Amino acid sequence: MSNRPPRSAPMRPAASAGISRRRLLGAGALAAAALPLAGCSSPLGAGLLGTELNPETLVYWNLFGGGDGVRMQDMQDGYRELFGPRSLQATTLAWGNPYYSKLTLATVGNQPPDVAVAHLTRAKPLWNGGLLDPITEEDLAGVGLTTEDFNAQAWATQRTDDQNIAIPLDTHPFTLFYNREVCEQAGLLDSDGLLVDLTGMDVFEAALKEISAVTGGTAITVANVAETSTPWRFFWTLYNQLEGATPFLSDDGATISVDEEKFLEVTGKIQEWVEQGWLNSALDYATSQTEMFTGNAGFYLQGEWEIATAQSIDGLDFGMASIPQLFDKPAVQADSHTFILPRKERSPQQRQQAMEFIKAMLDQSMIWAEGGHIPAYLTTAESEEYLALEPQRHYADSADHAVYDDPAWYGGSGSTFEDTVGAQLGLVQQGALTPEQSLAAIRNQLAIYTSTPSPL
Partner 1 sequence: MTTMSPTAPPTPRAPAAPPGRGGKVLRRTPQAWLFLAPFALIYLAFMVGPMIWMFVASFFNTSTVRSGLGSFAGFDNYLEMFARDDFWSSLWHTLQFTLYTVPPLVVLSFVLAVLTNRMSRGQWFFRLAFFLPFILPSATISLIWVFIFTPANGLWSLPATLLGMDPGAGILSDPSTAMIGIAIATVWWTIGFNFVLYLAGLQEIPRELYEAAAVDGASPWQQIRRVTIPLLSRTTGLVILLQIIASLKIFDQVYLMTSGGPGIATQVSLGLITNTAFTDNRVGAASAASVLLFLIILVIALLQQVVSRIGSKREEAS
**For residue 3, which phi and psi values (nearest 5 degrees)?**
-90, 10
- Give min distance, CB of 11 to partner 1, in A: 24
Nearer to partner 1, 124 or 262 (CB): 124
State which of residues 28, 66, 69, 130 lies at the interface with partner 1 (CB under 8 A). 130
The reply to whether 134 sits near partner 1 by the rule CB under 8 A is: no
Q: How far apart (Å, rounded) are the C-alpha atoms in residues 19 and 32?
A: 18
Judged by CB under 8 A, does residue 448 bind partner 1?
yes
Q: Which residues of 138-147 are buried (b: 16+ CB within 10 A; e: fewer)?
A: ebbeebebee
Would you say 43 or 98 has its CB closer to partner 1?
A: 98
**C-beta of 116: minimal distance to partner 1 in Å?**
15
The β-bridge relationship of strands 402-403 and 332-335 is parallel
> Angle 435-451/260-276 helices, nearest 10 degrees?
140
Residue 236 CB partners (closer than 8 Å, separation 6+): 248, 333, 403, 405
Strand partners, 375: 170
- For partner 1, the closer of residues 269 and 443 by Cβ is 443
Closest CA to 201 of 258, 145, 257, 270: 270
Residues in the chain, total = 456
Q: What angle do CA 49, 100, 162 make, to 5 degrees?
A: 95
Question: Nearest 5 degrees, angle CA 363-CA 366-CA 372?
Answer: 135
Contact letters (x/-) for partner 1, 27-56, by CB under 8 A? ------------------------------
Q: Between residue 66 and residue 125, which ones bind partner 1 under the rule CB under 8 A?
A: 97-98, 100-101, 104-105, 107-108
Cα 216 from Cα 347, distance rounded (Å)? 65
Q: Which residues contact 440 (CB under 8 A, 6 or more apart)?
A: none
| Contact present, 121 and 115 (Cβ < 8 Å) | no
Beta bridge partners of 318: 179
107/237 with CB nearer partner 1:
107
Q: Which is nearer to partner 1, 316 or 456 (CB)?
A: 456
Find the binder of partner 1 among 409, 421, 422, 439 (CB under 8 A).
Answer: 409
131 in contact with partner 1 (CB under 8 A): yes
Residue whose C-alpha is closest to residue 72's, from 116, 136, 40, 127: 116
Q: Which residues make Cβ contacts (< 8 Å) with residue 145, sequence separation at least 6?
A: 359, 362
Report the C-alpha gap between 110 and 112 in whole angstroms.
Answer: 6
The crossing angle, in degrees rounded to 10, of helices 201-215 and 260-276 is 30
Q: Is 65 one of the binding residues for partner 1 (CB under 8 A)?
A: no
Nearer to partner 1, 49 or 226 (CB): 226
Output the smallest distance, CB 185 to partner 1, in A.
Answer: 33
Q: Which residue in the set 41, 255, 294, 452 belongs to the binding site for partner 1 (CB under 8 A)? A: 452
Pick 184 or 419: Cβ nearer partner 1: 419
Residue placing its CB nearer to partner 1 in the complex, 35 or 48? 48
Least distance (Å) between residue 252 CB and partner 1? 13
Residue 113 near residue 61 (C-beta atoms within 8 A): yes
Q: Is 26 helix (H, G, I), strand (E, B) or coil?
A: helix
By CB under 8 A, is residue 216 in contact with partner 1?
no
Q: Which is nearer to partner 1, 34 or 105 (CB)?
A: 105
Nearest 10 degrees: Cα torsion 52, 57, 63, 65: -130
In the complex, the smallest distance separating the C-beta of residue 136 from partner 1, rounded to whole angstroms, is 22
Q: Which of 70, 226, 432, 440 forms a contact with partner 1 (CB under 8 A)? A: 226
User: Hey, which residues between 415 and 434 contact partner 1 (CB under 8 A)?
Assistant: 416, 423
**Number of chain positions touching partner 1 (CB under 8 A):** 21
**Binding pattern for the stretch 181-210 against partner 1, x by CB under 8 A and - elsewhere:** ------------------------------
Strands 115-119 and 58-62: parallel
By CB under 8 A, which span of 82-90, 127-135, 145-153, 165-173 interacts with partner 1? 127-135
Q: How far is the CB of 143 from partner 1 (least distance, A)?
A: 29
- In this complex, which beta carbon is closest to partner 1, that of residue 91 or of residue 101? 101
Q: Which is nearer to partner 1, 156 or 226 (CB)?
A: 226
The residues that touch partner 1, with contacts defined as CB under 8 A, are: 97-98, 100-101, 104-105, 107-108, 129-131, 226, 409-410, 416, 423, 448, 452-453, 455-456
